[in-house]
Structures are given as structure tokens and as C-alpha cells.
A and B are shown apart, each in its own frame.
Chain A
Amino acid sequence: NAGVTQTPKFQVLKTGQSMTLQCAQDMNHEYMSWYRQDPGMGLRLIHYSVGAGITDQGEVPNGYNVSRSTTEDFPLRLLSAAPSQTSVYFCASRGRGRETQYFGPGTRLLVL
């Protein structure tokens, strides 16, 4: 049981480039979320999903897209990277009726 996995661990992008951050969980959790963590800002919710085919916006959704075609995967897409998107990104999942949210190890993104 690998839990929540994220790839890549680290990525450098140039302004305007696009990329997809991958997130997968093997716990059959219905709920998955993406957060970004910036110094002194805590964790801010970007997008979340309550099940396959269902997604919704969080606190800071601009510049990011998500989709949820399977229960296991919840990729986060940056369409046109900006320096303001330099951050550490965490994916998390939670089972229905459960309160504990499990976080992945994070992806550190640097946009030049």
C-alpha cells in the first residue's frame, strides 16, 4: 500500500510552459485535493474532487486545471506557468465518511 504518490518530486519550468503534476492513491479514497504551500501562507486549497468525474474549485484555482477520470488519479495541470506558481504542491486523499486526510510527499515547482 503506497498511499498517496506524487510525481515529479522536483521540476523547473520556464514562464509560459505547461506541465502536469501527477497524483495517485491506492486506498480507494473518493476525495482528493490539491494544495499549494508557500512560506508563511500555510496550505491553500487549489482544487478538489469528491469522486470520479466530479471536481470543484478551492481557494486559489486560477491558472490550474484538474480532471478526475478514475478514482485513483487526480492530475493537476498548469496551462501556462507563471513565476507566482513557484511553490510546493501537495496532493491529499480521504475516504468517504473518514476525517483523516493523507498527504503525498509533495512536488517542488520552480518557475523561472
Chain B
Amino acid sequence: QQQVKQSPQSLIVQKGGISIINCAYENTAFDYFPWYQQFPGKGPALLIAIRPDVSEKKEGRFTISFNKSAKQFSLHIMDSQPGDSATYFCAAGIYSGAGSYQLTFGKGTKLSVIP
């Protein structure tokens, strides 16, 4: 069973602080690691993604750190803002043939950024 374990389930951070969400996977065949952001009542939207050939990717205030040997990856949100309050899902993708990636999602982290 392919699994992606995400922690914590919920996170409260003060405005301006750093939010850190962690994920771990088991299957070394995974080769695509995206993070999705979901606001209440909306569908998830791709936030940032990384391939296993790099250890870090940064886009604005959002950074993915990837540790291939430990089979772990994490999302860091710098200078967290109340507008970042959402549920965040990590996922891992594996090429399944016919040009298709299948994503396995973590269970999500509800982030609340308080003023």
C-alpha cells in the first residue's frame, strides 16, 4: 500500500512566524512531490512541487525541502500571513504508464495563522 504520512494534523502559527509541515513516504519509486493548498469550500490548488533530483525549491515565501535518503519532504511558509490559513496536502506521484501520474495524498494539515 502506497502511503504518504503527513504531520501535524493542525497547526497554529502567529502572523510573521514560520509554518512547517512534514511528510514522509515509503515507496522509493515516487518521483514527483507536490503540495496543494485548499481554502474552505474550494478545490485544492497546486502550490509548489519538487522532483527528487533537487533538495530544495523556493517560490516566494514557500519552500519545499526534500531529503531523499530519509524519504521525507517538508513545506516551509516564511512570514506566515492570515491569508495563508488553509488546509495543505502533500502528495507523491508515481508514473503509472500511458503518460499518467497517480498521486497519493497525505491526510492534510489545517493551518491557522493568527494576527
Contacts and interface: CB of A to CB of B under 8 A. Distances in A.
Contact of A50 (B9, B32, B100, B103): B100
5 contacts: A42-B105, A58-B102, A101-B101, A103-B45, A106-B41
Contact of A42 (B41, B45, B98, B107): B107
Given A42-B89, A43-B89, A99-B93, A48 B107 contact: no
Nearest to A51: B98
B21 to A, nearest CB: 13
Nearest to B100: A50
Given A43-B89, A99-B34, A99-B93, A104 B43 contact: yes
A97 B43 CA distance: 22
A8 B95 CA distance: 32
The size class of the interface chain A forms with chain B is 20 to 34
Contact of B107 (A41, A94, A102): A41
Interface of A: 4, 30-31, 35, 40-45, 48, 50-51, 54, 58, 90, 92, 94, 96-97, 99-106
Interface of B: 6, 9, 32, 34, 36, 41-46, 49, 89, 93, 98-103, 105-108
Contacts of B41: 105-106
A97 B87 CA distance: 27
B37 to A, nearest CB: 11
A93 B2 CA distance: 22
A13 to B, nearest CB: 20
Nearest to B97: A50
B32 A30 contact: no
A60 to B, nearest CB: 12
Contacts of B108: 40, 42
Given A42-B89, A45-B102, A45-B103, A105 B42 contact: yes
